[in-house]
Amino acid sequence: MGGCDWRTLTSAYDGAIFEAFHVPPVDARLGGLVLIQEIFGVTAPLRDLAKGFAAEGFEVLAPSLFDRRAPGFQGAYDAEGVAEGRRLSEATPWDEVAADLATCVAELAGPVFVVGYCWGGTAAWLAACRTDGIAAVSSYYGRRIPELIAETPRAPIILHFGRQDPSIPASTVEAIAERHPEIPIHLYAAGHGFVSDRQADFNAEAAGLSRLRTLALFHRHMGLRGEV
């Protein structure tokens, strides 16, 4: 896809520099989208997802949120990649993540939406709770949301989880639902990482349905008016 590039951004948190993969919309621009990485970084599969959203009319920024500790990190989808990704994610404080995401939101003209997967699913929850200027958020299998469960999203948000995800037991999903009964939670007959076709738990049906729900949410909150 032509027009893709890497943007250099300066964090509002500490003035640190980080990169973000940028994809312009293919046709008429419907809004901006911050696409948040898994623990593996801004990998080729994530860049493909960015291009997919651009094809739907979104200008996409996918920030490389581990750049302070491992510039340009792109982990393999194997045990070594998981271990390094977890180490980097656990070394990255949530306040830093929130500020970097706010920097991305400010970089895009509105309306601005957020999608995040895995570690990014929790980061998407964080953005919904702390960042102004977000129209709506779609969070996928955010295992660490319980760490932030006391915070309440200020933007409309939907959550997606796999029923067969061993890293996110039913008790975790139930705790989120009990604390935030107003938030729609969608459950799928799938495991963790069901959107990524590079992972063993890829589930085409769950990926397709969750994508439709995400796009429907975003279209409801675009604030666009048709011509009379």
What is the residue-level pLDDT of the chain in tens, covering all 228 positions?
568 999 999 998 999 999 999 999 999 999 999 999 999 999 999 999 999 999 999 999 999 999 999 999 999 999 999 999 999 999 999 999 999 999 999 999 999 999 999 999 999 999 999 999 999 999 999 999 999 999 999 999 999 999 999 999 999 999 999 999 999 999 999 999 899 888 788 999 999 999 999 999 999 999 854 333
Q: Which two tokens stand for residue 14?
A: 């500490």
pLDDT at 224: 52
- Residue-number span of the structural domain to which 211 is assigned: 5-220
Number of compact structural domains in the chain: 1
Residue spans of beta strands (DSSP E) within the chain:
5-10, 17-23, 31-36, 58-63, 112-117, 134-140, 157-162, 185-188
- Provide the residue type at 179 as one letter: R
pLDDT at 184: 98
- Examine residue 226 and state whether it is found in any structural domain, yes or no: no
CATH at 156: 3.40.50.1820
- Examine residue 70 and state whether it is found in any structural domain, yes or no: yes
- 3-class SS at 74? strand
- Examine residue 215 and state whether it is found in any structural domain, yes or no: yes
pLDDT at 1: 57
- Examine residue 15 and state whether it is found in any structural domain, yes or no: yes
Cα 71 from Cα 8, distance rounded (Å): 12
Cα 46 from Cα 21, distance rounded (Å): 10
- Examine residue 227 and state whether it is found in any structural domain, yes or no: no
- Examine residue 225 and state whether it is found in any structural domain, yes or no: no
108 phi-psi bin (left φ>0, alpha ψ -120 to 50, beta other): beta
- Examine residue 184 and state whether it is found in any structural domain, yes or no: yes
- Examine residue 47 and state whether it is found in any structural domain, yes or no: yes
